[in-house]
Amino acid sequence: MQAGEIRKGVTFEYDNQVYTVVDFMHVKPGKGSAFVRTTLKNVITGKNLQTTFNPNEKLEETQVDVVEMQYLYADGDNYVFMNTETYEQMELNKDIVADILQYLQDNMIVKVRSYKGTVFAVEPPTFVELEVTYTEPGIKGATSTGQTKPATVDTGATFQVPIFVEIGDKIRVDTRTGEYMERV
C-alpha cells in the first residue's frame, strides 16, 4: 500500500518493526510537496512513534490475527482466556491485560490481537455493564446537571457517575473513553 492510503487501525511494517496507525493527517502545505503526518504504535513494545511519510512511499501491510476469547479466571499474575471456537485455553500475563482490568468480568468475550503468534493486545467490548458496589449517597435537592461523584464497581475500578446513581445500580461504561454512559 502507499502511505497516502494510511487510515486508523491499519497495521504495517516500517523499519523492521510492526506498527499500527493511531492517528494520521494528510498535509498539503502551500509550498513544497504533500506529506502524511502519523502517530504509530509499535504492536510488540507498545511505544509510540511520530513520523511523516511521502504519500507515494510504499509500505508493506501486515496481517494481524484477531480471535474472540472468553475470560475465565485470574491465576496469580496470569489471566486465563478460552478460544470460543476451539475451546483451547491461553494464559496471558498481567502486562498484556493491564489496560482492560478495570472492565474485565468473568465470562466476558474479548478480542485478542496477535502478530505471528505473539499476543500484543486484548480489547474489551465497546460498552460494558458494571455493578456499583460503593458510592456516597446523593445530596437531596442537588439536581443541577453535570454533578458527578466517584463510584466503585464490582471490578474494583472507580468511575465518575451522576449523583443519582446508588449502590446496587448497574451502569454502562464506554471502554474507549472510560466514561459513564447510562444507568441500566
Q: Which domain holds residue 45?
A: 3-61
pLDDT tens for residues 34-46?
899 999 988 878 7
Look-up: residue for cell 496481517? 63
Sign, CA torsion 14/16/18/22? negative
Rounded CA-CA distance 73/52 in Å is: 42
Alpha helix ranges (H) inside the chain: 94-97
The separation between CA 142 and the C-alpha centre of its own chain, rounded to angstroms, equals 34
Range name among 41-50, 98-107, 157-166 with the lowest pLDDT average = 41-50
Residue 158's CATH number = 2.40.50.140
Can you give the pTM of this predicted structure?
0.74
7, 56: one domain: yes
